[in-house]
Chain A
Amino acid sequence: MPAVQETIDQVRLIDVDQYKYGFETTIEMDKAPKGLNEDIIRLISAKKNEPQWMLDWRLEAYERWKTLEEPTWARVDYPKIDFQDIHYYAAPKSTPGPTSLAEVDPELLRTYEKLGIPLREQEILAGVKKPGHEASEDGVVADEVVGEKRRVAVDAVFDSVSVVTTFKEELAKAGVIFCSISEAIREHPELVRKYLGTVVPTSDNYYATLNTAVFTDGSFVFVPKGVRCPMELSTYFRINEKNTGQFERTLIIAEEGAYVSYLEGCTAPQRDENQLHAAVVELIALDDAEIKYSTVQNWYPGDAQGKGGIYNFVTKRGDCRGHRSKISWTQVETGSAITWKYPSCILRGDDSRGEFYSIAVSNGFQQVDSGTKMIHLGKNTSSRIISKGIAAGFSQNTYRGQVSAHRKATSARNFTQCDSLLIGDRCGAHTVPYIEAKNATAQFEHEATTSKISEDQLFYVMQRGIPEEEAIALIVNGFVKDVIQELPMEFAVEAQKLIGISLEGSVG
């Protein structure tokens, strides 16, 4: 079957084999033994110097987790995960809580150097950049805010621990708390206790419960009343160690009238075996607050034969608790062997608004099952969903979403658009929306399309002398434009490039 062989040859060339973040950093690590039991949880808690209530909470979650079954409803297929064959704690040995950059292991800094542009944290970590010197290597100039360069505060999480958080002092002046969650549990227990687990309860789902029991680090953001966070906040997640799971927990609280924009990036080394990532992110927006959460997920997707790659099981949920609050999720998903991720909004406050913008690119043997939930509870709540799925190679790309209006959610409004693009006839694109209206004044609109790049479009671009592959990248970028423009500038350029790279070799 020459046609099949041809396809295989093409797929062999695709980017999944050329994952550029596939390096591994050799750092002495402090690891817990493999396996999961109460002792491991006690160990994690002790390593973090956690108070008793935190340990109790973890142990309770562990008890619940033992009674739960792994969900099977998603359109993803993978061999059973052996939860006893994973290290639940791994930390770089040399960092007993760094207070300044000088104390960070130079190996680690080199790792971040290799990770390069997504956050440009190297430049940032090195100090404030000089204005007029902003052109990055691809010639795009970062935007400037009133003559001053936009800066990004970074919290870097390496396997199980947060290694460095920058710009802490400057943020503190504005009243913003930005630190690792372990630190927050120690330094701000009253805030953590008040909000942690209130959006994603302990027994919400299998992976969230597991995360509650064993989460090792993550970021904590608190923006007090009336404060507009003076810079973008960002977390960089990196799984480095072999056979470890990464379980991070992020909690972001925006008090009345506050605003914060938060970016998240992730990569992992290239390995033959699968690694587990099960994170929980909770967002809480009080009256008139706004949280913007952007993700560029580029975990190792596995090789061209579908070997290796990250299993990404993530629970992300935002609670628009206050009136007129707003939560916006933007995600660019190009990595992971398996993605199981549904960033959602609970629109509790009257006039609150939820948004979800997503680009999910799958190639090789990647499987993506992602989407969102918009739960309308308050009056005059509105939500908007724009999802763009691009499937190539042998991948399966599913949008799964729910929009529901509660009986009391008068004048709830939703607009959903989910479009899929298929490149090649060995991949699949699926759409599974659930639309539930219990209120006559609700107004829900949903539309979905699936198609391939039209020959007319391609011809139009190519006859202007643009090679096919570039022409396709151009059309694809047009296809995802609605979402890209929702990303902060720092990410938009990177995301656009990432999509191009992910689809490389998928045509020909």
Chain B
Amino acid sequence: MNMHVNLQHTPAERALLEAFDARIGNLPGDGLIAAKRREGIEVVKAGLPTRHVEAWHYTDLRRLLSAVPAEHGSGAQPLAPLLSGSNVLTVENGEAAGSTDIPHVAVSRLSAKLDEGQGYEQITQADAADVIGALNTAFASDGFVIAVADGAQLAAPVELQNIHGGGQVHARFAVSVGAGSRAQFIERQAGNSKALSSSLSTLHVGDDSEVMWLIVQEQTADSTHLAQFRAKLGRNAKLTLFVMNAGGKLVRQEVRVDAAGSGSDFQLRGVNLLAGDNHTDVTMVLDHSAPNTGSREVIRNVVTDRAHGVFQGRINVHQIAQKTDAKMACNTLLLSDDADFSAKPELEIFADDVACGHGATVTDINQQHLFYLMARGIDEKTARGLLVKAFLAEVIEELEDEAVIEALEAKLDAWFVQHG
């Protein structure tokens, strides 16, 4: 990146650079980590990506990122776990807190690991173009390193809470699940005041293991949330990822999954609820890099008011990945003329014996469906609400876990109450 010689930094970029200078001395880790952090901050020095960077075409981060608070916030409100009985691990205002005692699971604080000179591999960016990874690498102050033992069948979900009382917070969760295990993780992203939050989760799913991972994002309507979920699947591993975005002003959730083990399977389900002036971008890059892998992605978006929605999904099928079966669908209900939605579902295929497909639709509520309900005496507002909810609930119900479905539908209802 040598083209930015005479770059004029934006106020947000200046604020980030200043925050970095102020924080670097206190961030955990030795000189090696500090060097990685300095490398990470280069993305800000070089200028944040604009719409001319293909991966950020619909989310011009440089233009959209405005306020960058300097300080950590304080006074985060603890969340009740999404599912009762979960083991909760909390990062509060960028600092890991609370008990780390979970059966069959080794949990350590990221900051402690780094200070002990361990965990270099936890602090990385995916590649040179990984802006969120770089930002998070530069600033990550704490989080958890979690290892689920081989053959463990976790009885209760592990809930990872990244909560804050505003300000600027950067957390990281590094999870590895051993061979032949079963686990459920719930990632909560929330705060009670304006914030710039970045969060990065990495997951390794061991051979023959099965993981369900839920991300529930409920930032305040004036917050920026930049998040990344990175996963690598072992042989015959199965990962189901569910993402719900129901908050924030500027949100980018990246999903990078590598189906690297033969016979592995990846399922993504997403529900994005966009209202007000929200801008939410879900960007997925999925690699099928082993034979006989499968994937299904279903993303449902509801966009209203003046909100902007983005879905970018790219499926890369490597030459070795014969017999790949990949399907991606992105369906959007665009409910307001002031809102917009952009989709870019890409297929990049180098193997011939595959069955890949994607579908994308953008429509308003089906008038016939509406008429059908209204003809039965249901008023228009209720009828519309029912149809929108049915459109979203369809995806949630595919999760086949009663407790999860119930909890997520409750979230859905809460959003509808708030946004009518």
Residues of A within 8 A of B (CB): 73, 407, 420, 422-452
Asked whether B360 is an interface residue with its Cβ less than 8 Å from the other chain, the reply is yes
Per the bound structure, the CA–CA distance linking A424 and B57 in Å amounts to 33
Per the bound structure, the CA–CA distance linking A437 and B319 in Å amounts to 34
Q: Which of B352, B357, B361, B363 contacts A452 (CB 8 A)?
A: B352
Asked whether B222 is an interface residue with its Cβ less than 8 Å from the other chain, the reply is no
Residues in B with CB closer than 8 Å to A436 are 340-343
Are the CB atoms of B322 and A425 closer together than 8 Å?
yes
Are the CB atoms of B363 and A444 closer together than 8 Å?
yes
Within 8 A of A (CB), among B321-344: 322, 332, 334-337, 339-344
Are the CB atoms of B360 and A441 closer together than 8 Å?
no
Are the CB atoms of B332 and A425 closer together than 8 Å?
no
Are the CB atoms of B347 and A423 closer together than 8 Å?
no
Residues in A with CB closer than 8 Å to B335 are 440
Are the CB atoms of B346 and A440 closer together than 8 Å?
no
Per the bound structure, the CA–CA distance linking A482 and B345 in Å amounts to 23
Q: Mark B183-207, 1 if CB is under 8 A from A, else 0.
A: 0000000000000000000000000
Residues in B with CB closer than 8 Å to A433 are 343-346, 360
- The chain B residue with its CB closest to the CB of A429 is B349
Per the bound structure, the CA–CA distance linking A435 and B310 in Å amounts to 10
Residues of B within 8 A of A (CB): 54, 57, 319, 322, 332, 334-337, 339-364
Q: Can you give 8 contacting A-B residue pairs, CB < 8 Å?
A: A422-B351, A427-B350, A435-B343, A435-B344, A438-B340, A440-B336, A449-B355, A449-B357
Q: Which of B322, B354, B362 contacts A443 (CB 8 A)?
A: B362
- The chain B residue with its CB closest to the CB of A414 is B362
Are the CB atoms of A435 and B349 closer together than 8 Å?
no
Per the bound structure, the CA–CA distance linking A287 and B353 in Å amounts to 48
Instruction: Decide if the interface of chain A is mainly helix, strand, loop or mixed.
Output: strand
How many pairs of A and B residues are in contact by the CB < 8 Å rule?
116
Per the bound structure, the CA–CA distance linking A443 and B54 in Å amounts to 25
Residues in B with CB closer than 8 Å to A437 are 332, 334, 340-342, 362
Are the CB atoms of A432 and B346 closer together than 8 Å?
yes
Q: Given A447-B357, A447-B359, A448-B345, A442 and B352 touching (CB < 8 A)?
A: no
Q: Given A442-B334, A444-B361, A452 and B354 touching (CB < 8 A)?
A: yes
Additional 14 contacts, C-beta under 8 A, given A434-B342, A438-B337, A443-B363: A407-B337, A423-B352, A430-B348, A431-B346, A433-B345, A435-B362, A440-B335, A446-B359, A447-B357, A447-B358, A448-B358, A449-B356, A449-B357, A452-B354
Per the bound structure, the CA–CA distance linking A355 and B182 in Å amounts to 51
Residues in B with CB closer than 8 Å to A430 are 346-349
B80: shortest Cβ distance to chain A, in Å?
36
- The chain B residue with its CB closest to the CB of A411 is B364
Instruction: Decide if the interface of chain B is mainly helix, strand, loop or mixed.
Output: strand
Residues in A with CB closer than 8 Å to B348 are 428, 430
Per the bound structure, the CA–CA distance linking A369 and B340 in Å amounts to 28
Are the CB atoms of A444 and B352 closer together than 8 Å?
no
Are the CB atoms of A431 and B358 closer together than 8 Å?
yes
Are the CB atoms of B347 and A435 closer together than 8 Å?
no
In the A-B complex, the 3 residue pairs with the closest CB atoms: A422-B352, A449-B357, A438-B340
Are the CB atoms of A451 and B340 closer together than 8 Å?
no
Residues in B with CB closer than 8 Å to A431 are 345-347, 358
Are the CB atoms of B345 and A440 closer together than 8 Å?
no
Are the CB atoms of B361 and A446 closer together than 8 Å?
yes
A428: shortest Cβ distance to chain B, in Å?
5
Residues in A with CB closer than 8 Å to B332 are 437
Residues in B with CB closer than 8 Å to A446 are 343, 345, 358-361
- The chain A residue with its CB closest to the CB of B316 is A430
Q: Given A423-B352, A439-B337, A440-B336, A432 and B344 touching (CB < 8 A)?
A: yes
- The chain B residue with its CB closest to the CB of A410 is B337
Residues in B with CB closer than 8 Å to A439 are 334, 337
Q: Given A446-B359, A446-B360, A448-B357, A440 and B334 touching (CB < 8 A)?
A: yes
A302: shortest Cβ distance to chain B, in Å?
21
- The chain A residue with its CB closest to the CB of B337 is A440
Residues in B with CB closer than 8 Å to A445 are 359-361
Q: Given A73-B54, A435-B343, A440-B334, A428 and B359 touching (CB < 8 A)?
A: no
